[in-house]
Amino acid sequence: MMHAYLLIGKDLENLDKEAVNLSQKLDASLMEFPLLKIEDVRQLSRVTSLSLSRREAIYIKGIDGATTEAQNAFLKRLEEPQENLFYILSAASVAKVLPTIVSRCQIIFVKNPRGQISPEADNFLKLNLGEKLIFVEGIKKRENAESFLEEVIENWHLTLIKGDSNLAQKAQNLKRALGALSSIKRNGNVLLQLTNFVISLE
Q: Is residue 91 part of a domain?
A: yes
Q: Is residue 118 part of a domain?
A: no
Count: domains in the chain? 2
Q: Is residue 76 part of a domain?
A: yes
Q: Are residues 86 and 17 in the same domain?
A: yes
Least Cα distance to 148 among 170, 180, 101, 192 occurs for 180
Q: Are residues 11 and 79 in the same domain?
A: yes
Q: Is residue 86 part of a domain?
A: yes
Position 63 scores a pLDDT of 94
pLDDT truncated to tens, each residue of the chain (202 aa)? 678 999 988 788 889 999 999 999 999 999 999 999 999 999 998 888 777 778 999 999 999 999 999 999 999 888 887 888 999 999 987 778 888 898 889 888 786 655 555 566 667 777 889 988 988 888 888 888 888 888 788 777 777 766 666 677 777 888 888 899 889 989 999 999 999 999 998 6
What amino acid is encoded at 6 in this protein?
Answer: L
Q: Is residue 122 part of a domain?
A: no
What is the domain-level CATH number for residue 19? 3.40.50.300
To the nearest 10°, report the CA torsion of 164, 120, 199, 109. -140
Side-chain half-sphere of 63: how many Cα atoms within 13 Å?
30
Q: Are residues 143 and 80 in the same domain?
A: no
Q: Are residues 67 and 161 in the same domain?
A: no
Residues 118/155, Cβ–Cβ less than 8 Å = yes
Range(s) of the domain holding residue 72: 1-110
Residues 7/111, Cβ–Cβ less than 8 Å = no
Q: Are residues 103 and 17 in the same domain?
A: yes
